[in-house]
Amino acid sequence: MTDVIVVGGGPTGLMLASELRLHGLGVVVLERDEEPAKNVRALGLHVRSIEVMDQRGLLGRFLERGKQIRVGGFFAGLNKTWPERMDTAHSYVLGIPQTVVERLLAEHAAEAGAEIRRGAEVVGIGQDDYGVTAELADGSRVVGQFLVGCDGGRSTVRKLVGVAFPGEPAKTETLLGEMEATASPEEIAAVTAEVRKTQLRFGLGPLGDGVYRVLVPAAGVAEDRAVPPTLDDFRQQLRAVAGTDFGVHSPRWLSRFGDATRLAERYRDGRVFLAGDAAHIHPPAGGQGLNLGLQDAFNLGWKLAAAVAGWAPQDLLDTYEAERRPVAESVLDTTRALMELMSTEPGPQAVRRLLAELMDFDDVNRYVMEKITAIGIRYDLGAGPDLVGRRLRDVRLKGGRLYDLMHAGRGLLLDQTGRLSAEGWADRVDLVGDVSEEVAEPAVLLRPDGYVAWAGDDQRDLRAHLARWFGPA
């Protein structure tokens, strides 16, 4: 029997497995596909995900293989400058293909001791008061204390436990693939620039060696979206939208995606949880999907570890849905708005022009980007200073950097008074007696996911919050 079964070996599942292994839990990742996906759907990490990697000491691996980007355009393609004074030490987006993100996370999870089984398709789930059993297509079984479905928008786990997935079906569809083109780079760049003046769901981006990432609106919504489009579908739609097919040929991979927007009715069914696309799907506008899933895993991991270790407060596991579902609701609303703003209809175009004017104000531009990059999130953790419920950026301490102290995934009490104590919780919370000019509160208590659970200087109040988030002393 293992501690946690993770179904799905994409970025969300691998991030979760790594978080669980930080606390010494037994983890089995069950991935249906024999090989990692080759198609590149997501192209980067947003600020909060970059911070997450930094908090666990992983950021160097990603920076080596990515490109720091500080340009506008993430909000409905509105070409505004990157905002100044963002509340982060990492004020950029990291351009890095999803395939690379997945490979790096798989390497880290394996190094941490997670067992990753490929070609392991889950076909049945049973649970009782003591554990969960995953039945595999080959007739074998895996038993664990908990199971987390990180198996995508068509989640088998979600269907097996009977969690409804209400929302809006796809109304439009977009073709996406990588292929070679015979047209000159100059012609492709010129035509693409002209078409994108009105059609933002179009683009040919050079990948090198004559290969392009091609994005073009589909003729309609396919009856079976699991069936990939053909090269002729791409040629036909390129001619319809751009007046030329650019001589595309020799595809590496072809796919399609729609603008369906759905949110799981609940994130938990007994000992089974949902995370990432298994819990929410939305159009890819703004590049938020992969990042939302990583942050789901970051929120859930330490809470599951606490439950397995036996020190979790009674309702700690319930806070996962209470905190993350509203975040997903907000992202779904944002992507709905983004899709409207990219419409070619006169009404949405008028709203787009108005928003473009508003984003010329620094505060509006910054607010929009902090929303897209997930650093504007505040969980409802009760009364307290404004910092409570927000993640704390990587502040400079007299003795170094805050995020360097968070690699182990434990709680952290930053005490600038020299008078407070976490006695009784030393196995769960690190006490750091240091000062920072960037933290106005006398002391802050950080959860393992970096969110501020308490701020102040009263020892009795601190002990109550230690018990609230880290169990009895």
Written as one letter, the residue type at 88 is T
Max distance between CA atoms of the chain, in angstroms, equals 72
8 A C-beta contact, residue 79 and residue 49: no
- pLDDT score, position 239: 95
Mean pLDDT of the chain: 93
Asked if pLDDT for residue 225 goes beyond 80, the answer is no
- Which one, of 34, 30, 281, lies nearest residue 132 by Cα? 30
pTM (predicted TM-score): 0.92
DSSP for 29-76? Answer: EEESSSS--------EE-HHHHHHHHHTT-HHHHHHHSEEE--S-TTT
pLDDT at 462 over 90: yes
Average pLDDT over residues 167-188: 92
Statement: residue 42 has pLDDT above 80:
no
Residue 226 — very low, low, confident or very high, per pLDDT cuts 50/70/90? confident
Q: How confident is the model at residue 463 (pLDDT cuts 50, 70, 90)?
A: very high
Would you state the pLDDT for residue 51?
A: 97
pLDDT one-digit tens code per residue, 131-167: 999 999 999 999 999 999 999 999 999 999 999 999 9
Residue 175 near residue 225, CB atoms below 8 Å: no
Least confident stretch, 86-100, 142-156, 218-232, 396-410: 218-232
Minimum mean pLDDT range among 115-119, 184-188, 204-208? 204-208
- The answer to whether residue 223 scores a pLDDT higher than 80 is no
- Please state, in angstroms and rounded to a whole number, the distance separating the CA atoms of residues 204 and 254: 14
> Which burial class, exposed, middle or buried, applies to 344 when counting CB atoms under 10 A from its CB (0-12, 13-18, 19+)?
exposed
pLDDT over threshold 80, residue 39? no
Write down all domains in the chain, each with its CATH number in brackets: 2-166+262-372 (3.50.50.60), 173-258 (3.30.70.2450), 396-470 (3.40.30.120)
pLDDT at res. 156: 97
Query: Can you point out the beta strands (E) in 67-180?
Result: 67-69, 93-95, 115-118, 122-127, 132-136, 141-149, 167-168, 173-180
Which pLDDT value is given to residue 342? Answer: 82
